[in-house]
Structure 1
Amino acid sequence: MPTLLSLPDDISIESALGESVLEAARRADVPIACACGGKAKCSTCRIWILDGADGCPERTALERTLVERLGLGNNVRLACQLRPASDITFRRLVLDETDLRMTSQLLPHRSTSAGELKSVVIFFSDVAGFTHFSETLTPYDVMYLLNRYFTQVAEVIELNDGYIDKFVGDGLMAIFGVNGQDDAPVRAVNAALQTLATVDRLKPFFASMYGIDFDIRVGLHLGEAVIGSVGSPGNERLTAIGDAVNVASRVEAANKEAGTRLLITETLYEQVKNEVEVSDFIRVRLRGTSDRISLYEIKKLKVEAERRLNEKGARETMQLGGKTWHRAVATSELKDGDHKVIEFQALYAVILRRGGRVYAFNNACPHLKLPFFETASRANGHAGRASTFGEDGTLVCRWHHSGFDLDTGEIVRWCEALNEDGTSAGMEMLGDISKNRAPLRLIPCREEDGYIWVGLD
């Protein structure tokens, strides 16, 4: 019979063959949480296998489904599904009611990661001389300056598959490799170099506006960190916890004494050394450590690496501003006054160019969810009436002549073609169909790299 040692309870349990850890724990009065009743519908019964993981059976199909959705680590198992055939030592990961509220995936609208040890690149940046700026400029100007800088840098990081962890004062922390991307190390370096280039383009503007010499310092480190969701239920945010975060922060700070702008640790350098050019390297003792380590000042990417990473138009999607942007249509294919209906997984989108601007909206009227325009595949044989665009910047629905403001989505006119009692001519048996007042669903769009992109959540 397998022996199960539960921590932090320090209780040893004799388990019968074929018995789940949850069943054995309950029999021994070990308080393992289980919000779903042992059906693998939540992860509140999860345990960390400290010893004996190699002898544990493979995950069940139910456990695999939940593990893949939540990103649980290899040594984290569901007590309701694990039926040990040999001795194990485990730690309960949900200890009390607070933990239960934090981890129950039975609650609505939850999207959390329980925490997994991963090899990631941590990116830290800081504004040089920020204390002086904050003391000499008005708070409004400081906020404007930082927001202009952060907005452009955030785009650079997300376009390189990085995840913005947090903004703290004038500091920024980002994570590369959250989803296990093989090229995360070189993409992190690419993002750092592009960030510095972005700052160089901002310098003349800030100099003319405020008379300041704006610059930043960046530190990168490749190491292991626990990646998971932190925050109160409903307000979680993905973050990294571990010594790798502290090291990256200290590497960024080392730039000040070294007189450099971008330093990376030796562990990261070993992964990218064939794809970068180095200006110099230094031996330093980072704050709070006793050993000296080597830090490398990166000058630029080698030509082939830069071409591969920054090739324009190669992607169908990109992450930016918390949205997934989908490449919709080439800019050259949409002349002024033209529109196209593009199919995406979640909806059909209408892309319109009008008066030099580009608009995008859901191809479904808010009234009866009927299409404003037919798709190309259905256009033949459906060439009857079509929705139109008014001179006042409105979209006029072809079905009941509702009008919507293309800038705001607001209702300008509502169901003008219905009868006074709200019925539709010839379809009176449907009754009053005028009640469903809803605005037009606008979709964010942008032009970049010769294409029009639409942003979907």
Structure 2
Amino acid sequence: MPTLRSLPDNIAIDCATGESILEAARRAHLPITHACGGKAKCSTCRIWILNGVEACPAQGELERDLTGRLRLTEEIRLACQLRPTGDVVFRRLVLDETDLLIANQLQRGAATKSGELKSVVLFFSDVAGFTHFSETLTPYDVMYLLNRYFAQVGELIERNNGYIDKFVGDGLMAIFGVDGQLDAPIRAVNAALQTLAAVDRMKPFFASMYGIEFDIRIGLHLGDAVIGSIGSPGHERLTAIGDTVNVASRVEAANKEAGTRLLVSEALYNRVKDDVEMTDFVRVRLPGTSDRITLYEIANLRPEAERALNAVSARDTVHHGGKTWHKAIPIDSLVEGEPKVLGFPSLYAVVVRKGEQIFAFNNACPHLKLPFFEAAVAGPTPPASRIGDEGTIKCRWHESCFDLTSGEIVGWCEALNDDGVSPQMPMLGDISKNRAPLQLIPWREEAGHIWLALS
């Protein structure tokens, strides 16, 4: 019976004769993404064969057609199609915790209501430049990418008491205030700002894996709409109907011409202006109308509103020495050599104790912006980057090494060939560029906690 070893997880699993690597991995609860369900119609289950190429049978017609289209080298195979005859060592493509959850459908409460006229906030978003990269990637890769995005955005909307009405292609429509919540306007703005922050955290991943610049545009509008259930018996869903819906959609579309990411209507801005920081405003004629209206670009919530809305998830902040310090973690919760990954709107931070020293830094290798460490998740997890006794960190991806005190580069991309090419992914060419120091995060101890100064 062949033995499979997955890196960087360093997990060994048995593979029955005639069983695919994907089938064996799923049986062993090793997460391998398979957007098309293992039918060789996407490349999301691709793996890099590190050892045991001789135990890998030749590609079948389905696999050969797809890998040829994507110009993948012989070492990159589809886990759903590869049925090894001997021991194989391979590297998984996608490693973070989002992929452990992405197969789960977003849950929303079933709602059946007769039509009611309510004042609500409509949230519309779409992906900028979607047509371009949908033509570049396979349809199943596009679905995988969108599902990563929707999985995180859906959670943020529901956390802010929004109701996800529908997903249409790359677009999303949500409703805030379905149950008459008085804070629906500011909750909708909060959800929009958190969504943009989440997209900013996803950008390096999409750029590294697919070579695309991923971004979205959001439009918000406050107005009266008929809220009720629509659909055939057994397939009803709650939705909004009325001109407010059309205006909200056009507000979102106005971002493209204005070169903005988040615009809100004047009606909504007047309700939240005391709680937000407005960057600019524009006068536009919305598509399909003859009237010119004013739309406002919102950059942030004011600190008081931020604390009130996100009291559960946001950490306390104080201003000291010209910096804004965020309360991060109890100092007695730090275990020697065990990194703690902490999520903030602008980045993921790592705090780790090594001997008598404490280090804090951005959880993104300056090379390809891939994470040094994963947040704790159930099931198998990949090994972490290595923190040395001399106060350095060596990235698990291409073994770049950084000084944790100064952030300086100690060793650059040691796992790459001399010409900067990855032995496992030569089709990417020279990826040794982007030399940059580690982003250190100032920290201090106060009242038994570690506080971080984030830009």
Question: TM range, normalised to the smaller chain?
Answer: 0.3 to 0.5
| Structure with max Cα Rg | 1
Q: Which has the higher contact order (CA 8 A, sep 6+)?
A: 2
* TM-score computed with the length of structure 2 as normaliser: 0.45
